[in-house]
Amino acid sequence: PADKVLIWCDWNNDKVFDPTTELAATLDSITSGPNPYKGVIKIPANAFLGKIKMRIKMVDGANNPNYDPCGTTGYGEVEDYTLNCTDNITSIDPTGSDNQNQPFINVYPNPNNGAFTLDISFPDNGLYNVEIANVLGQIIYTESLNINNRNYNFSKIFDRTTLSKGIYIVKLSGNGANTNKKIIIE
């Protein structure tokens, strides 16, 4: 068995991590040895708005693993973080259905000085177009992506420190997707 990362979020803010209803993500190791884990945490509609606790636990599946949020394990690590849940919407599906088949865009750090990382998780195969534009609609970056590996994660590091301070928009379209993410350059 490989390493596994489990993430719990105290969605109802009752100061207890429920092992089943508050398990936000389970991430399996892709390769042995040190490597990044990527995933998406979907915030439930009834989640407490404000600061809640998030627990991340990495366990070695070969050495007496314990997948309980408060249990001990042979090898691994547990860290707690504060997660600030807000009601900001980062993408909207005009059909009114849930967004689970929409790509997920993450920009970090945000705000930034023009140096940032753009991560996009694609749930489905297809042809997508990524654009970054200023608020006047002037495109400063564009790339077409032909995704043929379901649940593919695209990551690109940008160094655009020569850009003017202001607000920029990442626009992702194609294959039924249409989502935006704001970038603030200070």
Domain-located, residue 27: yes
Residue 94 placed within a domain: no
pLDDT given at position 30: 56
Ordered per-residue pLDDT tens for the chain, 186 residues: 578 889 999 999 999 999 999 999 888 765 555 566 777 788 887 888 888 899 999 888 777 778 889 888 778 888 898 887 776 544 433 334 444 567 778 888 888 999 998 888 877 788 899 999 998 889 999 999 888 876 577 888 999 888 899 999 999 988 888 888 889 999
Residue 91 lies in a domain: no
Residue 45 CA: distances (Å) to CA of 48, 88, 131: 9, 12, 29
Q: Which of 56, 59, 40, 71 is nearest to 2 (CA)?
A: 59
- The model scores a pTM over 0.75: no
Q: Are residues 74 and 134 in the same domain?
A: no
Residue 95 lies in a domain: no
Residue 155 is part of a domain; what is its CATH number? 2.60.40.2360
Q: Do 109 and 79 reside in the same domain of the chain? A: no
How many domains in the chain?
2
In a domain, 70, yes or no: yes
